[in-house]
Structure 1
Amino acid sequence: MSVELDLTALAVWMRGVGESVVGDLTGTRVGLGQSNLTYRIDDEAGQSWIARRPPLGKLLASAHDVEREHQIMAALQGTGVAVPTTIGVCTDEAVADVPVFLMTHVEGTVIDDEETARSLDPKVRRSLGLNLARTLAQIHAVDIDAVGLGELASRKPYAPRQLKRWSRQLEESRTQDRPDLDALTDLLREHVPAPDEIALVHGDFHVRNVIIDDSTGEIRAVLDWELSTLGDPLADMGSALAYWTQAGEMPGGMFTASTLDGFPTRAEMAAEYLRTAGRSGQALGFWHVLGVWKVAIIAEGVYRRVLDNPENAAGATLTAENIQAMVDHGWDVARENGLAS
């Protein structure tokens, strides 16, 4: 798969911001992400960096903002949250026709398929799952005003903001009529919880967006902050649960590595998060349903971008049936949590 960057021009820019690039650069697309495109960049001395750029084709307003992603990750340097060291944002049109965010490469493993997860000892799988919950609590403990993120986004009640934003995203990327997805939207609007505290919310927190030590399950870096905002911290836990498929479940195209022996259940992860963060889980069911709803809308957007431009695909291919299964799963979670009968 081609690298949609001019690596010669990128090397010039990198040297200009103080990076000791040796010789020519090479690049390789990494990860299965189908939102911002991610590349590993190597020089002739074996040094490595990570570059991120928006996907190809027409972009939705406010989506795929790598400059904002850089702002957030730069602010988190020194907070204890595990993030790569940021280099900067390149806006040189000789490199690409869009901004390109550059950061250091962090050695470790990304659990982006079931085969990689199988290579882990079951004890490491359990440690990883619980570390995800603890890391999320650590992100939510960041003093947003002290690190300069207090004006990152609105501090108005988060659930209505999410419902408005993702309903709009659905309308702009819809590939077909989905009346049961629309009905799930209505259900969520009927069950909006009272506003809680405001914290930094990652917005897309799951096991494929972290780099781990595969011998211990320690999280070395949290990636993909493009959806990060200010909001209710339970929203992040709800999204993490939405991505965490359990044994016996096959919610259409969802990641299944977490069904392997050793990984904690959703209930165990939620309990570890609530214990570490010192929060009540009273509204967590709502946020879990909203997380599944949002995953289905994100999948619809990915499906739309791939239909528009097949070069945006990476690895697994979504289908309309996959997305429908996600919607069905959302209704199952709503019933489990008493939001629907």
Structure 2
Amino acid sequence: MTSSDLELDTERLSTYLGRHIEGFAGPLSYQKFSGGQSNPTYLLKAGGSKYVLRRKPPGDLLPSAHAVDREYRVLKALHGTAVPVAKPYVLCEDTEVIGSMFYVMSFQEGRIFWNPALPELDVADHHPVFDEMIRVLAALHSVDTGAVGLSDFGKPGNYFQRQYSRWTKQYRAAETSNLPEMEQLMGWLSRNLPDGDGSVSLIHGDFRIDNFIFASDAPQITAVLDWELSTLGHPMADLGYFCVCLRLPPTGLIRGLQGLDRAALNIPSEAEMIERYCSLRDLPEIENWTFYLAFSFFRMAAIAQGVYSRALAGNASNENAMAFKGLVAPLAQMALDEIAAATH
């Protein structure tokens, strides 16, 4: 995939959006956001208004990946609920318009924090930001999926068994070399899959700090972004992933808090965030936490392998995609270290 593959036909796109978005008027210009490893994302400007377009990348893709239609469906379901999202305008399944399926949503003004250490904020303002993220996560997992029309948004059965099978297949499809760390981790996960406990919620699938837009002047989330991996599943998948992201090193493609003094930064500890989440949802103490963490590391590693595989095939949407090769084994090793620590 070359940069020209990601260019938009503004004339054709403007004509289409003029037919489907009330008040849309050209001339249309666009700029591709630098982020977005999976689905290329663009800022559209037209008639004094701003919009955001997310599309499937062109080229050969892994099965079930890049599900922008699922993103659009969940945005429509959640818009106007306690979970803040951008306003969805239109889903276009006609690949003749720009070369792949896409949708358009509102552009949300505000702040995105890329570094969970929050260096741009006063230390006193750190804790409220994390409290807000946990509040929104609890609100998401409390959504009545039947009431918002998402009762069929996921498959029945044991979520983690299903997800382990899915991500193992995705990893194998994208595998470029044998990694002993991944083999050992997948073996442990297969032997320790928890029995289904009946917990089912709408889950985001990529719940981390840079997928939120905060208000410009308050620790308030105005939109949760990037719903491609959302589904009906076990809420601990989101909470575990959120905590795993914060365990990552403070430098790299996804920044974490590893080695930093959370107390000095006025950032709640992992235990405090779990306690806050459980309090908001009136849940007892969490069992199988080691598994949830290990699984989240595994899934993150499998996703990284997929990004690297797309880069080799020329279908990656981000210039940093080749660097994802170096993430896979270290992520698996972090999971193995957590498992070892929990068993001693």
User: What TM-score do the two structures reach when normalised by structure 1?
Assistant: 0.91
Shift of 1:28: 1.2
Aligned to 1:293: 298
Q: 1:8 aligns with which of 6, 11, 21?
A: 11
TM-superposition CA deviations, 1:251-276 (whole Å, max 9, x none):
97541368572333322222221111
Residue 326 of structure 2 is aligned to residue 321 of structure 1 = yes
Asked whether the 8 Å contact 2:18–2:25 carries over to 1, the reply is: no
TM-superposition CA deviations, 1:60-89 (whole Å, max 9, x none):
111101111111111112221101111011
Shift of 1:161: 0.4
Aligned to 1:159: 160
CA distance in structure 1 between the partners assigned to 2:67 and 2:316 by the alignment: 19
Residue 279 of structure 2 is aligned to residue 275 of structure 1 = yes
Structure 2: unaligned runs, 5 residues or longer: none
Aligned to 1:75: 77
What is the identity percentage for the equivalent residue pairs of Structure 1 and Structure 2? 30
TM-superposition CA deviations, 1:159-199 (whole Å, max 9, x none):
10010000000001112111221211111122222313111
Query: What's the Cα RMSD here?
Result: 2.3
Aligned to 1:330: 335
Closer, same or farther: CA 252–105 of 1 in aligned 2, 3 Å: closer
CA distance in structure 2 between the partners assigned to 1:278 and 1:167 by the alignment: 33
Q: 2:105 aligns with which of 103, 106, 114?
A: 103
Which letter does structure 1 place at the counterpart of 2:205?
G
Closer, same or farther: CA 109–252 of 1 in aligned 2, 3 Å: closer
3-state SS, counterpart of residue 170 of structure 1: helix
Closer, same or farther: CA 267–145 of 1 in aligned 2, 3 Å: same
Aligned to 1:40: 43
CA distance in structure 2 between the partners assigned to 1:271 and 1:39 by the alignment: 38
3-state SS, counterpart of residue 247 of structure 2: coil
Aligned to 2:222: 220
Residue 130 of structure 2 is aligned to residue 129 of structure 1 = yes
Which letter does structure 2 place at the counterpart of 1:237?
L
Residue 256 of structure 2 is aligned to residue 256 of structure 1 = yes
CA distance in structure 2 between the partners assigned to 1:252 and 1:50 by the alignment: 26
CA distance in structure 2 between the partners assigned to 1:214 and 1:7 by the alignment: 31
3-state SS, counterpart of residue 167 of structure 1: helix
Shift of 1:333: 2.1
Closer, same or farther: CA 107–317 of 1 in aligned 2, 3 Å: farther
Residue 189 of structure 2 is aligned to residue 184 of structure 1 = no
Shift of 1:244: 1.1
Shift of 1:310: 6.7
Closer, same or farther: CA 184–252 of 1 in aligned 2, 3 Å: farther
Aligned to 1:51: 53
Closer, same or farther: CA 114–79 of 1 in aligned 2, 3 Å: closer
Closer, same or farther: CA 336–268 of 1 in aligned 2, 3 Å: farther
* Bigger mean CA offset, 318-327 vs 162-171: 318-327
Which letter does structure 2 place at the counterpart of 1:67?
D
3-state SS, counterpart of residue 243 of structure 1: helix
Shift of 1:308: 1.6
CA distance in structure 1 between the partners assigned to 2:189 and 2:217 by the alignment: 40
Asked whether the 8 Å contact 1:299–1:323 carries over to 2, the reply is: yes
CA distance in structure 1 between the partners assigned to 2:213 and 2:126 by the alignment: 14
CA distance in structure 2 between the partners assigned to 1:313 and 1:103 by the alignment: 21
Asked whether the 8 Å contact 1:33–1:314 carries over to 2, the reply is: no
* Bigger mean CA offset, 190-199 vs 131-140: 190-199
3-state SS, counterpart of residue 218 of structure 2: coil
Shift of 1:295: 0.6
Report how many residues are paired: 335
Shift of 1:299: 0.7
Residue 313 of structure 2 is aligned to residue 312 of structure 1 = no
Shift of 1:114: 7.1
Which letter does structure 1 place at the counterpart of 2:129?
L
* Bigger mean CA offset, 268-277 vs 97-106: 268-277
Asked whether the 8 Å contact 2:58–2:99 carries over to 1, the reply is: no
Asked whether the 8 Å contact 2:250–2:257 carries over to 1, the reply is: no
CA distance in structure 2 between the partners assigned to 1:319 and 1:154 by the alignment: 30
CA distance in structure 2 between the partners assigned to 1:237 and 1:114 by the alignment: 16
Closer, same or farther: CA 79–336 of 1 in aligned 2, 3 Å: farther
Asked whether the 8 Å contact 2:304–2:328 carries over to 1, the reply is: yes
User: What TM-score do the two structures reach when normalised by structure 2?
Assistant: 0.90
CA distance in structure 1 between the partners assigned to 2:97 and 2:266 by the alignment: 44
CA distance in structure 2 between the partners assigned to 1:133 and 1:31 by the alignment: 27
